[in-house]
Structure 1
Amino acid sequence: MPREILKYPHPVLAQRAKEITEITPELRKLAEEMAEAMYAKRGIGLAAPQVGECCRLIAVDVSGPDERTDLKFFVNPVIVSKEGQVTDEEGCLSVVNFRAKVTRAEKVKVKAKDLDGNEVEVDADGILAVCLQHEIDHLDGVLFIDHISRLKRALYDGKIKKWQKSGKQA
């Protein structure tokens, strides 16, 4: 059974994740569990805090959601350069029943380690660039709804409160 994905406004989602100092068998198991949870919910990216682990690990597979051929894990990812701007609609497995337009860099260069401890560098554009920025934001306690207007955010927060009062799961 896949790990549960935490939902906004869970406090772990607002925390800065800790650096990973060692690639362990437990970290590899977490990565597998993250991929399983991401695929089960038809996502294209997932950060460790979304499954309750406050460490700097992300899983990305933008080949999905129907095809799954390009799974990548990034340990301690850092955006080292950004270029251009693009605005597109985003959603999030932790922010239920809500999508909004977000402006991000059009191209990014990300440095990280893979699960073997090797340094990796990725030049990304398109959906991969957006996905990497979205997931790295999670590691800093930032959700895509932190990038939208105050009015749209207030409306969404109002819906969340209503769902919580009624006991309904969004």
Structure 2
Amino acid sequence: MPIRDDRPHTADLRVRVQGRPVDSYPALSPEAERGAVRRITVVGEEVLSRPCREVAEFGTPELASLIDDMFLTMYVADGAGLAANQVGVDLRLFVYDCPDDDGIRHVGHIVNPVLDLPGPGSRRLVDAHEGCLSVPGATMPVPRTDRAVVRGFDKDGSPLVIEGTGYFARCLQHEADHLVGHTYLDRLSKRHRKDALRQMEDRREDVFARRADKAAELGR
């Protein structure tokens, strides 16, 4: 999920890492410093359209390395979140570095997440533009609830509960959709889906060029 253009500047944000407040945090997470850039899958590839598998083994070097790579890949693509199937790995896992509407930056990863949305009487639907790193260059309005909770585990198997409001709630819902084989295009009418795909065809090469420039800027 791309970061919106009006996000607060990183230096202005309070930070919560894995749901817990921290005094300070670097612009690039420590995971990204260890990671390598992976190719981001594009809508139409089969891995994006099937449910992902549960992670069965925690605390492995392979899982840690995947998370590191996903963080760096997300930053290179100017993303706010990235699911594992967006780098071609069909596991229930996503990473995020996303602001909410109250000036709090949320950073972390969650494994085997289960999305929990509030009931109809305690939530509000917000219709706002949304993009996706796997639909490069396209944005369309998508209705999402203004609150969301995901429950899952960290890479070592410790339980996590991550709560989001505003834009961060949108991010959590967007990434959870990926893990069941959906993109935001699946929430659009046929006409709006065609419009989004047309935007992607017109802009994807420019997006890929910007990603290449960002990778070079980060020395990757």
- Equivalent in 160, 185, 190 of residue 120 of structure 1: 160
One-letter amino acid matched to 1:5: I
Task: Describe the superposition over 1:1-38 as per-residue Cα deviations: whole angstroms up to 9, x where unpaired.
Answer: 51010111111111110011111210110000000000
- Tell me, yes or no, if the aligned pair for 2:55 and 2:111 is still in contact at 8 Å: yes
Cα 1:104–1:63 shift into 2, 3 Å? closer
SS at match of 2:70: helix
- Equivalent in 45, 49, 59 of residue 81 of structure 2: 45
Q: For structure 1, which segment, 87-96 or 114-123, has the greater mean C-alpha deviation from structure 2 after superposition?
A: 114-123
Q: 2:63 — aligned with what? A: 27
Task: Describe the superposition over 1:66-101 as per-residue Cα deviations: whole angstroms up to 9, x where unpaired.
Answer: xxx642000011112333211111011100121000
Cα 1:31–1:149 shift into 2, 3 Å? same
- Whether 1:131 and 2:166 are equivalent positions in the alignment is no
**1:169 Cα shift?**
4.2
**1:139 Cα shift?**
0.4
TM-score, scaled to structure 2: 0.68
Q: 2:108 — aligned with what? A: 72
- Whether 1:5 and 2:40 are equivalent positions in the alignment is yes
Q: 1:58 — aligned with what? A: 94
- Among the aligned pairs, what percent are the same residue? 35
- Whether 1:142 and 2:155 are equivalent positions in the alignment is no
**Structure 1 regions of 5+ residues with no counterpart?**
none
SS at match of 2:115: strand
One-letter amino acid matched to 1:53: V
**1:54 Cα shift?**
0.2
- Tell me, yes or no, if the aligned pair for 2:47 and 2:85 is still in contact at 8 Å: yes
Q: 2:125 — aligned with what? A: 85
- Tell me, yes or no, if the aligned pair for 2:139 and 2:196 is still in contact at 8 Å: no
Total equivalences in the alignment: 161
- Whether 1:110 and 2:150 are equivalent positions in the alignment is yes
**1:116 Cα shift?**
2.1
**1:159 Cα shift?**
6.4
Q: CA RMSD in A?
A: 2.0
